[in-house]
């Protein structure tokens, strides 16, 4: 079992959302963090702002975006949310578009952020795992794949 | 093969943005670039390897380069890592 169970709840997962663009996808993932009281509302705008400022570097692997902002941007604790997108959404990344899985990551402490990030990336980078996540139709299914 | 000790000095460590930038940079060299950190051997040319490595602020590790351009690779990669922005 990975550490992800410490950071992810079933209620922070949503499947097959139809988002018209990347901002709306990041907003949906952020909304789940707000609902779980992991971040303040302002955190969502910051996640979008960093992409506008620094470019779509958050699409770190083909099909996978890791939306995040800094601890001081309104993170109340450490946690993640995960959404799958149907159809996939373009973020403007030259190699890794289009995106089907968005994870939003918040952490209240910098060290934890890295640990959690590593766990998530380790899992999603397994091709077979990512395919199963995409094929899942309920949050419970995805949750079981991740913990 | 060349080795150099590096200490990460920025506040936030090797998180998503600097890691992405570094991987791109490292891939510009022919040499194999490895980060030896704790008990891990991290491939500096792989974003997955780098992000799962959990290299935080203040981390100290050995950078290792091996290949035809190892001298340039280790010097420039060390400069890059030592001057990371947050």
Cβ separation A118–B57 shorter than 8 A:
no
ipTM entry: 0.79
> Is the previous residue joined to A87 through a cis bond, with omega within 30 degrees of 0?
yes
Q: Please check whether residue A147 lies inside any domain of the structure.
A: no
Instruction: Give the count of domains, chain A.
Output: 1
Is the CB of A111 inside 8 Å of chain B's CB atoms? yes
- The domain made up of B2-82 is a member of CATH 3.30.1340.10: yes
- C-alpha to C-alpha distance for A44 and A130, rounded to whole angstroms: 25
What is the residue-averaged pLDDT of chain A?
93
In the predicted model, is pLDDT for residue A2 greater than 70? no
Is the CB of B51 inside 8 Å of chain A's CB atoms? yes
Indicate the pLDDT class of residue B46, thresholds 50, 70 and 90: very high
Going from N- to C-terminal start, the domains of chain B cover 2-82
In the predicted model, is pLDDT for residue A76 greater than 80? yes
In the predicted model, is pLDDT for residue A52 greater than 50? yes
Indicate the pLDDT class of residue B57, thresholds 50, 70 and 90: confident
- Decide if B11 contacts B86 (C-beta within 8 A): yes
Name the residue range of residue A63's domain. Answer: 13-109
Mapping DSSP to helix (H, G, I), strand (E, B) and coil, where does residue A83 land?
A: strand
The catalytic residue positions of B are: 15
Compute the average pLDDT of residues A16-31: 98
CATH number at residue A52: 3.40.930.10
Compute the average pLDDT of residues A46-68: 95
């Amino acid at each position: 079992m990975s550490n992800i169970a410490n950071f992810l709840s079933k209620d922070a997962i949503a499947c097959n959302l139809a988002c018209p663009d990347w901002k709306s996808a990041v907003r949906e993932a952020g909304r789940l963090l707000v609902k779980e009281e992991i971040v303040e509302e302002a955190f969502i705008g910051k996640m979008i702002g960093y992409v506008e400022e620094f470019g779509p570097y958050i699409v770190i692997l083909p099909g996978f975006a890791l939306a995040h902002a800094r601890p001081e941007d309104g993170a109340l604790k450490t946690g993640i949310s995960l959404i799958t997108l149907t159809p996939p959404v373009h973020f403007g990344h030259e190699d890794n578009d289009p995106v089907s899985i968005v994870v939003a990551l918040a952490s209240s402490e910098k060290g934890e952020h890295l640990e959690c990030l590593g766990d998530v990336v380790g899992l999603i980078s397994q091709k077979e795992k990512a395919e199963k996540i995409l094929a899942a139709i309920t949050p419970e299914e995805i949750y079981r794949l991740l913990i | 093969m060349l080795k150099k000790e590096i200490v990460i000095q920025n506040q936030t460590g090797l998180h998503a943005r600097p890691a992405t930038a570094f991987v791109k940079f490292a891939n510009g060299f022919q040499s194999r670039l490895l980060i030896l950190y704790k008990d891990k051997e991290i491939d500096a040319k792989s974003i997955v390897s780098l992000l799962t490595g959990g290299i935080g602020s203040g981390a100290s590790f050995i950078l290792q380069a091996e290949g035809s351009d190892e001298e340039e690779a280790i010097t420039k990669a060390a400069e890059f890592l030592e001057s990371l922005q947050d």
